[in-house]
Amino acid sequence: MEDVERKFVTNIRLNVRNQNCNVLLKGIFDRVDKIGNTIRIIDYKTGKVNQWDLNLRDWENLIDDAKFDKCFQLLFYSYIYWKSNDTDIFNVTPGIISFRNLKQGLLSIGLPKKENFSQDTILQFENILKAILLDMLDAEVAYSQTSEEENCKYCTFKSICNRN
Ligand code: SF4
């Protein structure tokens, strides 16, 4: 056992319209353990999660499809872990244990084109994360409601965004 309920923190530097920004990133991981040489970053879910919920078809899914929020979370945690531990990302496996689907054990993220989880995965995710943060921090980019109303079903903010 390595850790339970531990907070990991790192930062990311961005340049937003010629202004340097330092964005703090943090996550509280339910469990980090080690099996052999593999570090497992585990998130527990009380609801039912199936393997197909974690199979990314395309990297763009992380930006435009809220159904993949669990994939985003696992990649985000892996990114924070990698940055804050200076670890060899090849030995990290992020996954979910679903209390309503315990028989499936640890559900791991499935990457586009069945890529293996590697340092390239994390660097790919870093590009996506930077693009999202740049949009969020750029005062010239207006927020607007999504045109994909399907996304609203899973959105944490639907109670405050006045979406009908
Ligand atoms: S509920 Fe609002 S904030 Fe959430 S996805 Fe829909 S439009 Fe966006």
Predicted pLDDT of residue 110: 95
Which tokens sit at 120? 């390239």
Per-residue pLDDT tens digits for 106-120: 999 999 999 999 889
What is the arithmetic mean of pLDDT over 2-27? 93
| CA quadruple 2, 28, 130, 158: dihedral sign | positive
Q: pLDDT band at residue 1, thresholds of 50, 70 and 90?
A: low
Q: Of the given ranges (13-17, 35-39, 85-89, 114-118), which has the lowest mean pLDDT?
A: 85-89
What is the arithmetic mean of pLDDT over 36-46? 94
Ligand 1 pocket: which of 144, 145, 150 to mutate (most atoms <8 Å of CB)?
Answer: 145
Predicted pLDDT of residue 122: 93
Distance (Å, rounded) from C-alpha 80 to C-alpha 156?
22
146 lines ligand 1 (CB under 6 A): yes
Query: Which residue's alpha carbon is nearest to atom 1 within ligand 1?
Result: 158
| CA quadruple 116, 118, 122, 127: dihedral sign | negative
**Phi-psi label, residue 114: left if phi above 0, alpha if psi -120 to 50, beta otherwise:** left
Strand ranges inside 60-150, DSSP E: 92-98, 107-108
157 lines ligand 1 (CB under 6 A): yes
Q: Where are the domains of the chain?
A: 3-152
23 lines ligand 1 (CB under 6 A): no
Per-residue pLDDT tens digits for 57-102: 999 999 888 889 999 999 999 999 999 887 777 789 999 999 999 9
Residue 3 has pLDDT above 70, yes or no: yes
How many whole angstroms from 147 Cα to the centroid of ligand 1?
A: 9
How many whole angstroms from 116 Cα to the centroid of ligand 1?
A: 32
